[in-house]
């Protein structure tokens, strides 16, 4: 019952501290052990082995005797304290390496606490705590607090040692700060604390930096929550003020004797309450109980704060260790909130965790979220897909095809084209040529697609060109520096012929080609393609192809006649063109006059007669 009351007081006090931006969470080594980080004994053991190896590697160069190797074994096995062992190791290393040792002193810590990947990316205890608006203080050398805050939020400030706290932070802490009171692998080695000498210098001889921290605690009187710390360091406990609210989560003992266990808890609670102004909260009798207890604690705090469910869902959606079904439910629940969905995707991309990316990918392509993606445009969705494109399965590509085919996407986003083009180039089963052409039809409905990255797909532009003629678009905006190519497959050729031979379109042929080139952008665009040899029929340049279909249409004939008058086309092509022209058409246009004069001999060789009426109106003199 008493522990229940203390728990409720803890929730009330932490909630109030969060509101006032005055919560300090002190995290000790006990929390990081869950990810494979060492306890103090293991750290010292591995540190000694590392430097023993380093000394061995220079033994020949420095003519060292075996005693210089054996001494590390003797130090490791000795009964002196770990801090003193570090003193002895450092003393020996200074004799071996001289001045270079200070430059190298943190080499082991950089590899051990910074470079080695932990067993698990997610520490459930830190994961829960990192979601709270708090100042973090730790004696740990690793960066797991920062890693978790960065994954859940946008910013965190690492304070590598107490000197940085004084110099860089002016002796002030604020929400988002993580203070490493004993240093990090990246700190100034002068302020790294691991040996007895380091402790003495920091807390006794040159305690100016520590005094600044003491002053900050006295002035701000933060609410402090200890987690994973054994409360055995008096220097840390000396920071706590009598009139501030201080709590520590502690593991209870379970001897099987209830009276003894209760008495033990009473002694612990009484001592820390009277001597260190700290209330003990028992989280269980096994260390494995801590993550679940902290998760519940944070949930209760958020409930007290009135925090929206979206915040807990945010944490879940950035947790790479969550199971897929639960992840899917969390994403589906927020998928209709465009800004929220986009923000989560941006954060997942920023975190760039392989397991989290796979969870998100699977969740995006199913359920309510997929429905939202299909019928709206979420730009960052395509950025995410582009960055994880090699993870897509055949089934995923089928879903991607359906999303694009719905026609709701913005094709001016480069990532959309990147995904489309990747599928096209890799010839996935969902992007067969026939299916690809169906997509091209859909995408080509956008009259401005010619100015997007999709203009690199010249077959798609074939469908776009046909659509432009079908819509009878007089005005087209095409960027001046555009050098696009257009490929007409047989489907496009037949469709374009049908349009150009339609009676409604044929009436335009009564206008001169000069007028059409001036007034109709699509006609001018087609003419420029012919002139620059960038119009293709089934991937073969138009003027070199053996396609006869389009040459039979009047508009194409007019354009080709005009083009020949301007640049002189290949003679064999001219012969084919002459065979297709109806010289009896009095509405062809005066450009035919020049063409006939230029190619009179070929026309006569083919025994083509120019009607007398054409001669009379000046087509031939």
The string of pLDDT tens digits covering residues 554-571 is: 999 999 999 999 999 999
Per-residue confidence at 587, pLDDT binned at 50, 70, 90?
confident
pLDDT value at position 442? 94
Q: Where does the pLDDT of residue 444 fall: very low under 50, low under 70, confident under 90, or very high at 90 and above?
A: very high
Instruction: Render pLDDT for 272-300 as a digit per residue (tens, 0 to 9).
Output: 999 889 999 999 989 999 999 999 999 99
Q: Does 195 score more than 90 pLDDT?
A: yes
What order do you get walking across the sheet with 535-537 strand by strand? Answer: 486-488, 535-537, 540-541
- Least confident piece of the model among 182-191, 226-235, 597-606: 226-235
Mean of per-residue pLDDT scores for the chain: 91
At 265, is the pLDDT very low, low, confident or very high (cuts 50, 70, 90)? very high
CA torsion, points 439, 440, 446, 448, in degrees to nearest 10? 140
CB 181 within 8 A of CB 162: yes
For the cut 90, the answer to whether the pLDDT of residue 604 exceeds it is no
Beta bridge partners of 177: 157
Output the pLDDT for position 619.
44
Residue 469's Cβ-side half-sphere holds a number of Cα atoms within 13 Å equal to 27
Q: What are the b/e assignments for 401-411, b being 16+ CB within 10 Å?
A: bebbbeeebeb
Identify the pLDDT of residue 228.
86
pLDDT for 605 beyond 90: no
pLDDT at 226: 95
pTM of the model: 0.79
pLDDT at 546: 82
Which region holds residue 568: left if phi is over 0, alpha if psi is between -120 and 50, else beta?
Answer: left
* HSE value, Cβ hemisphere, 13 Å, CA-based, for 96: 28
What is the four-CA torsion angle of 387, 393, 396, 400, rounded to 10 degrees? 60
Identify the band that residue 620 occupies on the pLDDT scale cut at 50, 70 and 90: very low
Lowest mean pLDDT among 108-117, 148-157, 186-195, 327-336: 148-157
Q: What is the pLDDT of residue 621?
A: 37
| 323-372 confidence digits (pLDDT tens) | 999 999 999 999 999 999 999 999 999 999 999 999 999 999 999 999 99
């Amino acid at each position: 019952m008493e522990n229940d009351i203390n728990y409720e007081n803890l929730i009330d006090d932490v909630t109030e501290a969060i509101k006032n931006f005055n919560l300090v969470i002190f995290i000790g080594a006990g929390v990081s052990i869950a990810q494979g980080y060492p306890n103090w004994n293991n750290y010292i053991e591995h540190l000694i082995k590392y430097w023993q190896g380093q000394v061995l590697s220079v033994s020949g160069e420095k003519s060292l005797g075996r005693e210089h190797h054996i001494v590390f074994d003797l130090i490791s096995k000795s009964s002196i304290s770990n801090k003193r062992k570090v003193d002895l190791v450092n003393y020996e290393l200074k004799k071996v390496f001289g001045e270079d040792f200070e430059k190298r002193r943190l080499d082991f810590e950089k590899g051990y606490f910074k470079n080695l990947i932990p067993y698990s990316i997610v520490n459930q205890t830190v994961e829960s705590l990192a979601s709270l608006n708090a100042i973090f203080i730790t004696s740990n050398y690793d960066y797991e607090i920062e890693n978790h805050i960065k994954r859940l939020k946008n910013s965190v400030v690492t304070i590598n040692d107490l000197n940085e706290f004084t110099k860089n932070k002016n002796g002030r802490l604020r929400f988002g700060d993580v203070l490493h009171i004993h240093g990090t692998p990246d700190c100034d080695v002068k302020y790294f604390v691991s040996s007895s000498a380091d402790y003495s210098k920091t807390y006794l001889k040159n305690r100016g930096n520590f005094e600044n921290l003491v002053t900050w605690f006295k002035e701000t009187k933060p609410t402090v929550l200890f987690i994973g710390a054994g409360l055995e360091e008096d220097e840390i406990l000396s920071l706590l003020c009598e009139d501030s609210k201080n709590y520590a989560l502690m593991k209870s003992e379970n001897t099987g004797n209830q009276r003894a266990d209760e008495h033990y808890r009473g002694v612990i609670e009484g001592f820390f309450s009277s001597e260190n102004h700290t209330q003990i909260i028992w989280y269980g009798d096994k260390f494995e109980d801590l993550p679940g207890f902290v998760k519940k604690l944070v949930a209760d705090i958020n409930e007290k704060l009135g925090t929206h469910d979206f915040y807990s869902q945010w944490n879940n959606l950035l947790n790479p260790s969550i199971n897929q079904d639960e992840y899917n439910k969390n994403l589906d629940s927020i998928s209709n909130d465009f800004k929220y969905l986009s923000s989560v995707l941006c954060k997942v991309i920023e975190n760039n965790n392989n397991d989290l990316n796979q969870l998100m990918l699977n969740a995006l392509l199913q359920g309510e979220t997929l429905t939202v993606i299909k019928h709206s445009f979420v730009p960052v969705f395509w950025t995410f897909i582009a960055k994880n494109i090699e993870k897509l399965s055949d089934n995923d590509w089928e879903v991607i095809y359906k999303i694009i085919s719905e026609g709701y996407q913005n094709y001016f986003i480069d990532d959309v084209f990147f995904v489309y083009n990747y599928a096209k180039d890799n010839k996935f089963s969902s992007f067969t040529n026939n299916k690809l052409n169906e997509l091209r039809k859909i995408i080509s409905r956008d009259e401005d697609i010619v100015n997007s990255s999709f203009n690199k797909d010249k077959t798609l532009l074939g469908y776009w060109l046909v659509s432009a003629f079908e819509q009878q678009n007089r005005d087209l905006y095409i960027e001046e520096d555009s050098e696009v190519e257009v490929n007409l497959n047989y489907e496009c050729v037949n469709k374009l012929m049908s349009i150009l031979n339609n009676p409604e379109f044929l009436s335009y042929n009564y206008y001169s080609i000069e007028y059409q080139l001036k007034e109709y952008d699509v006609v001018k665009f087609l003419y420029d393609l012919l002139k620059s040899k960038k119009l293709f029929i089934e991937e073969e340049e138009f003027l070199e192809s053996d396609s006869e279909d389009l040459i039979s249409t009047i508009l194409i004939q007019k354009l080709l006649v005009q083009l020949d008058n301007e640049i002189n086309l290949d003679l064999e092509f001219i012969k084919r063109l002459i065979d297709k022209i109806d010289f009896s058409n009095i509405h062809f246009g005066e450009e035919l006059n020049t063409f006939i004069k230029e190619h009179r001999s070929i026309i006569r060789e083919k025994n083509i007669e120019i009607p007398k009426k054409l001669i009379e109106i000046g087509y031939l003199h």
